[in-house]
Structure 1
Amino acid sequence: MSAERFNCHYCKDPLLGKKYILKEDTQYCAKCYENLFSNCCEGCALPIGCNNKDLSYKDRHWHENCFKCGKCGRSLAEKAFAAKDELLLCTECYSSEYSAKCASCTKTIMPGSRKMEYKGSSWHETCFLCQRCQQPIGTKSFIPKENSFYCVACFEKQFAHQCCACKKAITTGGVTYQEKPWHRECFTCIGCKKQLAGQRFTSREDYPYCLKCFSNLYAKKCVGCTKPITSLSGAKYISFEERQWHSDCFICMQCSISLVGRGFLTQRDGVLCTDCGREK
């Protein structure tokens, strides 16, 4: 490049022996470069010249000496800081003004540190402890009780009832039978193992039975159909001389007329209406 052509691209002043700045292979004198390309400082509103450091944050720029905490005025250059709306604050000022206080130790929870939040309160992660074992709960499940928190294992050990069948803790629901706690899934018929929670059942010798098993095992049998007769299901029956019939089965063995409320005669294991009995 010839000497006469080595001039400022904008004002055309000669640059030989002077400080200049190249931008995209084009030379500018310092004054023109600052006027054309320098960023405006957010602090003092003056251009940030080429002899100054340009500190930036989210498309905003500051002189190094203007990059200060908006509350205490301390320099933020090469220090951690936080932003609140358009204001930059050192971590101490931000914490004092805006950070939550730990519900356990009452100290400030510094920005960027791990914390736990529950129902509007905050804790340092290391302060959110199980009341029983005093270990940090962290990301594990927990159970609140009154003003304390418990990990699931400790809550079960301290508060939960134990199922009298499987001996494990009952944490939700459950069934009480003979003043003892059971898991719903553990409270079953002693005969067929069908779950009895929410179902009609009976007992014998302190053991629970569904109606079907109890009837099959202990109910008397109908002389007519040989099936069990049980009052537990609400069925009506007829009893005569230590023999029983379902009401629907108490019929004449010859003409099949119902004998409920009528006179009848017995013949071996059967019964006859009086008309059929006379014929015999």
Structure 2
Amino acid sequence: MATEHFDCYYCKENLLGSKYVLREDNPYCVKCYNTLFANNCEDCKKPIGCDFKDLSYKDRHWHEGCFKCAKCARSLVEKPFAAKDELLLCTECYSNEYSSKCFQCKKTIIPGTRKMEFKGNSWHETCFSCKRCRQPIGTKPFIPKDNDSYCVPCFEKQFAYHCTSCKKAITTGGVTYHDQPWHKECFLCTGCKKQLSGKRFTSRDEFPYCLDCFSNLYAKKCFNCTKAISGLGGAKYISFEERQWHSECFNCMKCSISLVGRGFLTQRDDILCPECGRGI
């Protein structure tokens, strides 16, 4: 009659009638299993045998009874906890030692709860509220002013300038013209309606114009080339008997010599240098 054998995979001790542990389909006696596979407890440094519950966190292991707060020694089993410098702490101890304080109410912000951060300060979500309406800002856009925060509607009602053109609030940037505020996109040339922000422009009767429109509409025309004389940016021109010339266009009609700073003669609408004038 054959005898049935059921041995420990490592020490070969017969396991019939004894407690054993299966690992990768192989049976091990309790002693061999604990020696070969049990994790050492981070707290007491003893092996966590198969008869004990093994609690783990980030590749570290504890006996159930050793899994406790490093400061107050309260059990952390099935409770929220935080880690700091390899130590496990209950949320209360962690909050007292390390958590940031709310800028508004000065109370601790409990780990795991939502908080708002701005310019190095922290708030409880419900404490980060509009200075004017006192409603929590949450994830809505806001505008800071003098260490306070305002939701956009309240800021516009209390502080923002309103555009001279569209009458809506100016919350960022803007242009000032004749002591009046404008959105950059609303400050346009009176003639062609192109944006003037960041560009050179001039005005007529207090209305702004780009240089091209002003020249086309109001600038004097050169008697020689018929192009506009803007006079802007220090441009020089010659005026004589209600006629104007660009400095570079004020030349003798016969020999083309420049007459700027020289004497000249006229023959009907022509201007001539003295030499060409004497030959008439």
Q: Does TM, normalized by the shorter one, top 0.5?
A: yes
In structure 1, the partner of 2:224 is: 224
Alpha-carbon distance change, 169 to 273 in structure 1, aligned in 2, over 3 angstroms: same
Distance, in Å, in 2 between the alignment partners of 1:227 and 1:37 is: 96
Distance, in Å, in 1 between the alignment partners of 2:259 and 2:59 is: 102
What displacement does 1:215 show? 2.9
TM-score of the two chains, using structure 1 as the length reference: 0.79
What displacement does 1:78 show? 2.5
Distance, in Å, in 2 between the alignment partners of 1:39 and 1:88 is: 18
What displacement does 1:50 show? 4.2
Preserved CA contact (<8 Å) 2:7 2:27? no
Segments of structure 1 that go 5 or more residues without pairing to the other structure are: none
Preserved CA contact (<8 Å) 1:223 1:269? no
In structure 2, the partner of 1:214 is: 214
What displacement does 1:263 show? 4.4
Percent of aligned positions with the same letter in both sequences? 70
Q: Secondary structure at the match of 1:209?
A: strand
C-alpha distance after superposition, 1:47-70 (max 9, x if no partner)? 444444333334444333333222
In structure 2, the partner of 1:270 is: 270
C-alpha distance after superposition, 1:92-112 (max 9, x if no partner)? 222222222222222222222
Distance, in Å, in 1 between the alignment partners of 2:101 and 2:2 is: 68
Aligned pair 1:26/2:27, yes or no?
yes
Alpha-carbon distance change, 184 to 21 in structure 1, aligned in 2, over 3 angstroms: same
The structure with more radius of gyration: 1
Segments of structure 2 that go 5 or more residues without pairing to the other structure are: none
In structure 2, the partner of 1:241 is: 241
Alpha-carbon distance change, 207 to 72 in structure 1, aligned in 2, over 3 angstroms: same
Q: How many residues align?
A: 277
Distance, in Å, in 1 between the alignment partners of 2:221 and 2:8 is: 119
Preserved CA contact (<8 Å) 2:238 2:250? yes
Distance, in Å, in 1 between the alignment partners of 2:170 and 2:191 is: 24
Preserved CA contact (<8 Å) 1:95 1:111? yes
Give matches, 1:28-43, under 5 Å: 28=29, 30=30, 33-34=33-34, 37-43=37-43
Alpha-carbon distance change, 49 to 276 in structure 1, aligned in 2, over 3 angstroms: closer
Preserved CA contact (<8 Å) 1:8 1:15? no
Aligned Cα RMSD in Å? 3.3
What displacement does 1:207 show? 1.0
Preserved CA contact (<8 Å) 1:4 1:14? no
In structure 2, the partner of 1:90 is: 90
